[in-house]
Amino acid sequence: MRKLLALSFLCMMTVVSSVNAATQVTFETNQGNFTVEVYADKAPKTVENFLQYVKDGFYTNTVFHRVISRFMIQGGGFDRELTEKPTRAPIINESNNGLLNQTGTIAMARTQDPNSATAQFFVNVADNQFLNYTSPEASMIGYCVFGKVVSGMDVVFKISNLPTGNQRGFSDVPIRTVIIKRATIVSGK
């Protein structure tokens, strides 16, 4: 009987720990790797969207096309030739989730339309309070943070400090192309 109870308890703990396991995604780049932990409890639709792009292999061979020191690095939407990749439909902006655009957080990139985010994301390399949600007005809704870098922030800073220039109508493009070799889910879902 004790063995049965012990086995039942062990099985239950395994289920609980797998449910509580934080989902992490590792980005392998030609500048090094970094890992982000995503917060599905705070931004469920955003995380679901992001993880589906990861599972689909969408980020493979995309680039960080916008890199601004002491601001952020943006990528996930263009290939090496700076051709935009086709995406799924945009998602609703979940920026009113209590998460802030602080150093090391990952957020969705978008156009001026607050509900236009698809696949592109950025990692903050500074505290960017002006990107936070302040009200439901379109100009004040902010950018949805959905996770944080948990390892490899040195790589993110390295990328953010690369020399940049203009290329194919884009500004702040790294002179040396920063390629996302792949993004993979390494724990959690």
Give the pLDDT score at 17.
42
- Position 42 pLDDT exceeds 60: yes
How far apart CA 183 and CA 58 sit, in angstroms, is 8
- On whether residue 9 sits in a domain, the answer given is no
Burial class (CB in 10 A: 0-12, 13-18, 19+), 160: buried
Q: Would you say residue 6 lies in a domain?
A: no
In the chain, the percentage of residues whose pLDDT exceeds 90 is 87
Q: How far is CA 99 from CA 23, 64, 144, in A?
A: 17, 23, 8
124 vs 22: CA distance, rounded Å: 21
169-to-68, 81, 83, 93, 173 alpha-carbon distances in Å: 16, 12, 11, 27, 10
CATH code for the domain of 181 = 2.40.100.10
pLDDT digits (tens, 9 = 90+) for 12-26: 544 444 445 799 999
Average pLDDT over residues 106-113: 98
Could you tell me if residue 41 is inside a domain?
yes
Q: What pLDDT sits at residue 33?
A: 99
Confidence bin at 1 (pLDDT 50/70/90): low
How many helices, marked H, and strands, marked E, lie in the chain? Answer: 3, 10
Containing domain of residue 158, as a range? 23-187
Average pLDDT, the chain: 93
Mean pLDDT of 149-172: 98
The answer on pLDDT for 98 being more than 90 is yes
- Burial annotation 123-142 (CB, 10 A radius, 16+ → b, else e): bbbeebeebbbeeeeeeebb
Does this model's pTM top 0.85? My answer is: yes
Closest CA relative to residue 38, chosen from 162, 151, 188: 188
Q: With a cut of 90, say whether residue 65 has pLDDT above it.
A: yes
Residues 6+ apart with CB under 8 A from 103: 124, 125, 126, 127
Domain count, the chain: 1
Is 87 a member of any domain? Answer: yes
d(CA 185, CA 67) in angstroms, rounded, equals 24
Per-residue confidence (pLDDT) for residue 18, from 0 to 100:
44
Q: What's the pLDDT at 188?
A: 74
Domain assignment present for residue 148? The answer is: yes
